[in-house]
Amino acid sequence: MTPEPPQHFQHPQALVEGTAIGAGTRIWAFAHVLAGARIGRDCNICDHVFIENRVVIGDRVTVKSGVQLWDGIELESDSFVGPNATFTNDRFPRSRRWQAEIAKTVVREGASVGANATILPGITIGRHAMVGAGAVVMHDVPPNAIVIGNPAYIKGYVDAKPGAGPDRAAAPAEPGAARGTRVRGVTVQRLPKMMDLRGSLCVAEIGKGLPFVPRRCFTVFDVPSREVRGAHAHRRLIQALICVHGDCALMVDDGQQREEIVLNSPETLVVIEPMVWGVQFRFSPDAVLVVLASDEYDAADYIRDYDEYLTLVKASADA
């Protein structure tokens, strides 16, 4: 009985040992796919790509030339790997010493890894994140984050348009004024500022700029510039943020829109309502961020998984 021809394309000079390959996938010259690898539909595997046995590739994935995918690596659907990007799967490699357990590295749905980037073992690159060319990624990359450098740090967020700060036209012009943002539940206010020979003072009064009675206050400082704070949403809590010294960036996300807000003055107060995903990043060495909260600490109020957050937002919209 004549076997059915494969539904995928493979170049005559490609070496493909396995059959778990989806329809419409294209495998080009000098690629080598081992027998245990699983590749989804409509993928593009370019010249000189090596794919080991315990590799899983989703649908519509592009892997450019010169990439090696070792055991334990998973590329979810719609992800992109640029030319000569390097993945690793052994934290302490030694010749002819095999590790008992392979570290799992995952590139989540829609994420991109730039040319010549290096990804250390056991890392997750979040949904729709962007790893810049040549970056050395040593820690997990949050969803939608843009990371660059060696070691990689967060430069910004995908589709997070620049927002407000006291030195930007988008900020309220008058003391006490407020403006909405593209992100539902987030407002930016300019606090009144008084100056005389004794110094300067900014004030936020309950009912006049501060829409809740604070039950908790905490201060964030001495944050290394490559680190992030936040990366969660609250179910019920309202927060007000003021960077009283130095500067940092705030990314807010309502599940549909994102905005990046620069906090670089005691005059700027940002109010974040419940069910808004927030991340603080790009701290200057002298940054001091003050956060006022509408309630006492409650671990159950936090949503720390972005996928769970998106599910809750969608459920709320459909209700």
C-alpha angle 210/216/221, rounded to 5°? 95
Active site residue 48: no
Catalytic residue among 32, 48, 232, 245: 232
CB 273 within 8 A of CB 186: yes
Across the beta sheet with 145-148, the strand order is 9-10, 26-27, 44-45, 62-63, 80-81, 112-113, 130-131, 145-148, 153-157
Question: Kind of pairing, strands 248-253 and 239-245?
Answer: unpaired
Question: Kind of pairing, strands 160-162 and 136-137?
Answer: unpaired
Q: State how far the alpha carbon of 3 is from the alpha carbons of 6, 7, 157, in Å.
A: 9, 12, 49
Gap between the Cα atoms of 316 and 182, Å rounded: 19
Gap between the Cα atoms of 156 and 6, Å rounded: 43
Question: Kind of pairing, strands 258-263 and 118-119?
Answer: unpaired
Gap between the Cα atoms of 152 and 75, Å rounded: 20
Q: Nearest-CA neighbor of 224 among 154, 143, 167? A: 154
Q: Nearest-CA neighbor of 10 among 22, 78, 1? A: 22
Across the beta sheet with 50-51, the strand order is 15-16, 32-33, 50-51, 68-69, 86-87, 118-119, 136-137
Residue keyed to tokens 């990046």: 260
Gap between the Cα atoms of 150 and 265, Å rounded: 30
CB 109 within 8 A of CB 76: yes
By annotation, the residues acting in catalysis are 232
